[in-house]
Structure 1
Amino acid sequence: MNRLFGTRSSAPKASLGDALNNIDERISSLDVKISKLNSELTTYQQKLSRMRDGPGKNSVKQRALKLLRQRKQLEAQKDQLMSQSWNISQAQMTTDNLKNTMITVDAMKRSNKELRKTYGKIDVDKLEDMQDEMIDLMDQSNEIQDALGRSYDVPDDVSESELDAELEALGDEVEANGELEGESMPSYLTDSAIGADTDKLPNFIDEDQTDAEKKEMVAQ
């Protein structure tokens, strides 16, 4: 069977990139050949410019014409290869764009699937009810704070006349307390008592006595 139909090749198939590289190499090879022909044609042109008309000049012209035909053929091949290279580049670009598009689409599909799983577990109605309940709790908390901060038996307004009366009453109370403290002090400790008896200080035994005082004590 293998002899009739042959064996299936196991070699990897060439990609667009491989084909493009092959064409670029062929174009580079043609550029080298064309450059060589241009150099030879330049040499013939210089030679013909110095030759006189005759059989020798005609022979050189024939060789130059032959090189010119070869160059045109090579340039035609180069143009074809450059067209192929351009087409392959466009095909490769289109393929890459399609691959990128497929990757993007696949990523979007996976993302949408995950989003559906995530948001599918959320009940919007329950979420709104929870928000309403939180608002009610905050209102209740504010009411409780207001109630705890309420003051008792405090007049809303106090006039200047009431303030003057209160200050005068406090002054009278301070004077009355001062008088009571003065009366409770013993009379012998007051400044008046001390000042009155300043001239008659008591004599102490330990102090020196005069002769008259000693005689009076002996007589007693």
Structure 2
Amino acid sequence: MTSLLVASRNRKKLAELHRVLDAAGVSGLTLLSLDDVAAFDEAPETGATFEENALAKARDAYRATGLASVADDSGLEVDALNGMPGVLSARWSGRHGDDAANTALLLGQMSDVPDERRGAAFVSACALVSAARELVVRGEWRGSIVRTSRGDGGFGYDPVFLPSGSSRTAAELSPPEKDAQSHRGRALALLVPALRELAAG
């Protein structure tokens, strides 16, 4: 088995990659999180793009551990807010990872925006860094911002994001449904060929 470090402490992200690999029939990889390795200095996320941040996180993890590492940086780009919160999505309200406060601030900023101008996209950049390669891929999931939170699945802005063509928010989808269409699911799917090579060793 080849160890693959997922440079995150978010168990939901780890579970998501597990499901994507299982669905693609990729075996031979043992997934580890940052909680499974010795602590190391993690560089702050100062990149201007999701791609820059994902690559920096994966490089840090690979350098510190010597393990092939995957990292993602993801967020929400809202058309009416000129692409914001973007790379600031997790700390939009000023407190990192406060989903309720971030979502409340976003809905407040969008309160006067008419329905036809509430377009948005979830974006995920995933980076793989190993001895053999550095690879960065990007997945996007288009939709719009609803006016009130709906659903209790997922995390982040999922309860206010209505995927294009869907009558249910991202937080109302089952995990397999979300994987099949989400930004991170799409990005991870683009990594599958490289991860299959890694597993084959």
| TM-score in terms of structure 1 length | 0.15
Tell which structure's C-alpha radius of gyration is larger: 1
The structure richer in strand per residue is: 2
| TM-score in terms of structure 2 length | 0.16
